[in-house]
Chains A and B, each alone.
Chain A
Amino acid sequence: MIAKHIKKLPPSGIREFFDLVLGMPEVISLGVGEPDFITPWRIREKAITALEDGLTSYTSNSGLLSLRQGISEFLNSKYSLSYKPESEILITTGVSEGLDLALRAIIEPKDIVLVISPHYVAYPALAQIAGAKVQYLVTDEKSDFKIDLKQLKNALSVKPKAIILNNPSNPTGVHYSGPELAKIWRLISLSGATVISDEVYDELTYDVKHVPFPALDKKAKHKTILLNGFSKGYAMTGFRVGYVCADKEIISAMTKIHSFSMMCVPIISQVAAIEALRSQREVAGMRGQYKRRRDFVVKELNHLGLYTPTPRGAFYCFPSLKKFQVNCLDFAKKLLFQEKVAVVPGKAFGDEFDVNIRISYANTLDNLKEAIIRIERFIKALK
């Protein structure tokens, strides 16, 4: 009964591991892909007021104009990026829907989508659902999981319809600077591919300046579908609010699909998102804490012999298990059973990453300290 292309979607082995973690009580989890902070109170309070005021209706398919105006002003003042709120911004149910819509709007059968690996799990899955053939550009530890330009040039020779970039990245925490992006863009611009740039972690960068892909130049803006949202930087995962910025034609096509499949994002979440744009102080507070935790965790992991490049964004790092000659799933399972610490096996983010694990430092310092003690004990027993 189930369609073949859905049946063959990953993941399989990893799902079983997730079930193990979900069934085990009192685990210290370094495997969570969302902030440990609860949404700042001023945002929650706005959502409560919206309910009290009786805001329970649909909104326009594109989303509340006031939210689109707020996003437009925000991007303009922060990045000098100019998108028209009336025609170039669409409010989506998280970035996930934005990505789904972007792919469905531009992909035709047999089109190729280029995915940079390790990658967020939804990228290849949604591309395949949209009917695309996925090609991977696999990065490695030697380049600290950054794109190698020669490799990119080769990968672009197959003329992909789109390339999905994630800056900063889940699972590695890699962040590309403006000059690095400019070099990447120089190659992509020759290929004609559309860039789908997922920048949902842009509020969480450390020691570096973030440059959105469409801010590189006019042509880059024209060829980019920018995806962003409120989940990570504002700790609003459960509100499910994302947004897409692109040329009018693309937004119009995406809005068509969105109007049939989703109608609109819940109005309460949209009202809360307007307040979130005014909550930069709270965002800065969370960013400061993530940075401190990153410094602690990365230093400790390297000290324990798990080579970990310093992430410049998001709240993940991607340590290597090479030194211990153990595959990621065995390592994660044993660590879970012996020490009750959960991590995500690297394989979840690409078949090649069998000797990596993803560690999320979106957790309290006390938990992170205890987790490191347990990992150290576990590693000593491994030797």
Chain B
Amino acid sequence: MDDILEILESDARVSLEDLKKLTGKNVKEIEKTIKGYEKKGIIVKYKAIINKAKLKNEQNVVALIEVRIAPQKDVGFDLIAERIYRFPEVKNCYLLSGTYDLLLEVSGKDIQTVAGFVSEKLAPLSSVKATATHFMLKKYKEDGIILTKKDKNQRLPITY
């Protein structure tokens, strides 16, 4: 991965001026490179990681759902996966090896909403053979960021 991508991956809000200082490239070149990445779909989106557990008035339930599906002739899993990931409730969707085929991350305002999605939208699909829903109790780490507690460096402020 090049310098610009590495920096943006850890801080998408970094200014062009700072990128110039950090990479030694000029602003025009940086802008052109970033636009190129956006066009090619290498940079997909700029978003914040929000620790929703700390939002007191916000109710949010997340579930990981394992889905076993019957692949279809010629298109394999892709068509049914598309059918499923298009639902806005589905935040993440992966094709897996092993006992189950798809792993979904689904979120809703409460357990009923998520359960309703499974029973009314997901399970009735003819290609879906089985589902197993795991409600998330606590998020410790997301996108490489530890959400619960941070390491604290104890070093002295001045040493040789």
Give the interface of A toward B (CB within 8 A). Answer: 18, 21-22, 24, 27, 29, 31-34, 36-38, 120-122, 170, 237, 288, 292, 295-296, 299-300, 342, 344, 348, 365, 369
Contact = CB atoms under 8 A, between A and B. Distances in A.
Nearest to A38: B151
14 contacts: A18-B158, A21-B157, A22-B156, A27-B157, A31-B157, A31-B158, A34-B159, A292-B3, A292-B23, A295-B21, A295-B24, A299-B21, A344-B160, A369-B18
Interface residues of B, number: 16
A29 B158 contact: yes
A129 to B, nearest CB: 16
B70 interface: no
A22 B153 CA distance: 15
Which 7 A-B pairs have CB atoms at the shortest separation, nearest pair first? A31-B158, A29-B157, A33-B159, A21-B158, A38-B151, A121-B160, A296-B21
Given A122-B160, A295-B22, A296-B21, 18 more contacts: A22-B156, A27-B157, A29-B157, A31-B158, A32-B155, A32-B157, A34-B159, A121-B160, A170-B160, A237-B155, A292-B22, A295-B21, A295-B23, A299-B21, A299-B24, A342-B158, A348-B160, A365-B22
A44 to B, nearest CB: 9
Given A29-B158, A344-B160, A38 B24 contact: no
B24 to A, nearest CB: 6
Nearest to A349: B160
B6 interface: yes
A22 B6 CA distance: 35
B7 interface: yes
Given A292-B7, A295-B22, A300-B21, A34 B158 contact: no
Contacts of A122: 160
B157 A342 contact: yes
Interface string B128-160: 000000000000000000000001010111111
Nearest to A122: B160
A351 to B, nearest CB: 16
A36 B7 CA distance: 18
